[in-house]
Amino acid sequence: MSQNTLLLELTGVVKEYPASPEPLRVLHGIDFSLDAGECAAILGPSGCGKSTLLNVMGSLDLPDAGTTRIRGNDIAAMNAAELARLRNHEIGFVFQLHHLLPQCTALENVLIPAMVHEHRDRAREQALRLLERVGLRERRHHRPGELSGGERQRVAVARALINNPALLLADEPTGALNEEAATELADLLLELRRERNMAIVVVTHARDLAERFAPLYQLHGGRLERRE
């Protein structure tokens, strides 16, 4: 994929949640764009709307006003099947809490997003390669309860990458980790970004993490402001 290709574009994005007496407006008109292979970090305190914004970026949620475009395509114009395909093939998600299925092994968890594929053997090989890459091949038959917090997040990263997404969205990916594991996970994400020419957006309330994924934006009052 060539550089300077517009991958993600949000224009005038407004997002509200139903509330009484009036809706809670969380995003007040967000403009944001990200080229293929680029990073961005979005910083803001708890409750300011970071997860809401990331869900809109990842097409998990539609804006109430404004548009989300991925590779120039307005997601509001897509049908359910097109959206599911887009999410599955273009976007990987990593959350604060790993969201792994507790009854499944590391390998099975990594394979979940690839289960719809016809090429099961190829998907399994790819999952094993990814587990190797994140340093967990030997742990492939372990369940999440048998792994450390950092190891669980590395499985979650491998799962996010199984379909080779162009965009990785990470919501407080190190929020549940100790300092050492958090640094390791950030190192891993940045290495993977270089290796795969993948774009990454990290949202976090931790400034030191955000700075590693610069350029940095502050989410404040429902608007994004570029920071140094």
Q: What stretch of H or E contains 55?
A: helix 50-57
Question: Does residue 91 belong to the site contacting ligand ADP (CB under 6 A)?
Answer: no
**Near ligand ADP by CB under 6 A: residue from 49, 66, 113, 173:** 49
Q: Is residue 51 near Mg ion by the rule CB under 5 A?
A: yes
**φ, ψ for residue 172, nearest 5 deg:** 50, 55
What does 186 interact with, of ligand ADP, Mg ion, none (CB < 5 to 8 A by kind)? Answer: none
The nearest distance, CB 50 to ligand ADP, in angstroms, is: 3
| Shortest Cβ 199–ligand ADP spacing (Å) | 20
CA nearest 108: which of 70, 162, 183? 162
Tally of CB atoms within 10 A around 176: 16
DSSP state of 146: G
Q: How far is the CB of 191 from ligand ADP (least distance, A)?
A: 26
Residue in 211, 192, 206, 210 with CA at minimum distance from that of residue 154? 192
Question: Any contact of residue 20 with ligand ADP (CB under 6 A)?
Answer: no
For 176, the token pair is 């549940």
Q: Would you count residue 204 as binding Mg ion (CB under 5 A)?
A: no
Decide if residue 50 touches ligand ADP (CB under 6 A). Answer: yes
